[in-house]
Structure 1
Amino acid sequence: MITIISGTNRPHSNTLKIAKYYQKSLLKRGMDTRLFSLEELPDCLIKTDLYGQRSEAFKPIQEMVTNTEKFLFIIPEYNGSFPGVLKTFIDACDFPASFYNKKACLVGISSGRYGNIRGLDHFAGICSYLHLNVMPLRIHLSTIKLEMNNSNDLFKEDTLKFTDEQMDKFIAF
């Protein structure tokens, strides 16, 4: 099972739009996916699910993570890195079993010019610590609002070429 993580809890985010695009594209390739937006995290996460505690609200999320073999993280740039809520989500999951020896694919997005290059590097460092194996081909989608059409699909020829290559490699990974 592939779980696509929309790496922010910001409502109506471009991150979620890109996550849905990747989900549609993987479905066309016959892949069974699940989409999880960090908007779905329980409001009590910081008080109830860190440091070995577990709330009833987080249990199905932990079960989803446990049952995932491959993760596709869509990660927006926040202040030159990635959202703190994504790190909090990782911290709330059981360690080390949640991510140990599983596989991940990373997509960075930003409204600026660099597609969250630094944020993906920061996140990849955390993945290494967790023994979460990151596929070498990372995509950096810059000026994200210009990359999507009115249907929230990617449409630029070179972007489609690279994202298609990434998805094909991720399936084989």
Structure 2
Amino acid sequence: MSVRILALVGSLRAGSHNRQLAEAAGKLAPEGADVQLYEGLAEVPFYNEDIDVEGSVPAAAVRLREAAQAADAFLILSPEYNGTMPAVLKNAIDWLSRPFGAGAFGGKPVAVIGTAFGQYGGVWAQDETRKAVGIAGGKVIEDLKLSIPGSVTRFAGTHPVDDSEVAAQLTEVVARLHAHAGEAAAA
């Protein structure tokens, strides 16, 4: 069975280290796991119930919801902005939490990981992301964590896939998320 894992990256920067982590996750995914990096979070308007009306939902939000509905699991990668998750990531979670009770997360397994420049690797942002996704209906795998500190120096000349320690940890994260998704599908 092929498991579709949708990667949502909380940084819009082309050279983002979190984006590079998502790319590495795709390369290191076990057989049967397809990690798809979602492109287009920058185009999704801020969530507003006035525009979340059947028949007039913005196209960018519809595309996000469709990609999320088609996913079996989520890999969310968050940097830390001012001690919390970036607004673009929170906005995506808000869109995916609706319609209330039938959002796209719908009990699907979610792993939240990331890297940041600070000494803790963005743990506050990742904890806040886990909280928001859990409230939005995702089945957050609480013990599946990877927070990589010092991103600016650690990945200055090395892509995360070429860092053996990071590659090993990321391989384990994706493999465990894949296994959780397989168990959820079989249940």
How would you bin the TM-score normalised by the shorter chain?
0.7 to 0.9
Aligned pair 1:162/2:181, yes or no? no
Aligned pair 1:21/2:24, yes or no? yes
State the 1:40 CA deviation: 4.2
Give the match's secondary structure for 1:100.
coil
Give TM-score, length-normalised by structure 2. 0.79
Aligned pair 1:129/2:135, yes or no? yes
Give the match's secondary structure for 1:104.
strand
Give the match's secondary structure for 2:8.
strand
Unmatched segments (≥5 aa) in structure 2:
181-187
Give TM-score, length-normalised by structure 1. 0.85
- Over the residues paired in the alignment, what is the CA RMSD in angstroms? 2.1
* Of 9, 12, 23, the match for 1:9: 12
Aligned pair 1:141/2:144, yes or no? no
Identity rate, percent = 21
Alignment check: 8 A CA contact 1:75 1:109 kept: yes
Task: Give the Cα separation in 2 of the matches to 1:40 and 1:124.
Answer: 18
Code of the residue aligned with 1:167 in structure 2: it is: V
Alignment check: 8 A CA contact 1:147 1:154 kept: no
State the 1:168 CA deviation: 1.9
1:1-173 correspondence runs (5 A): 1-26=4-29, 29-37=31-39, 39-42=40-43, 45-46=45-46, 50-51=48-49, 52-53=52-53, 54-93=57-96, 94-95=98-99, 96=101, 97-135=103-141, 136-148=143-155, 150=157, 152-173=159-180
Code of the residue aligned with 1:105 in structure 2: it is: A
Unmatched segments (≥5 aa) in structure 1:
none
Code of the residue aligned with 1:35 in structure 2: it is: L
Task: Give the Cα separation in 1 of the matches to 2:161 and 2:13.
Answer: 20
Distance 1:140 1:109, change over 3 A: same
- 4+ residue runs of structure 1 moved beyond 6 angstroms? none
State the 1:89 CA deviation: 1.4
Code of the residue aligned with 1:116 in structure 2: it is: G
Structure with more contact order per residue of length (Cα contacts < 8 Å, sep ≥ 6): 2
Size of the aligned set, in residue pairs, is 168
Q: Out of 153-162 and 72-81, give the one that drifted further.
A: 153-162
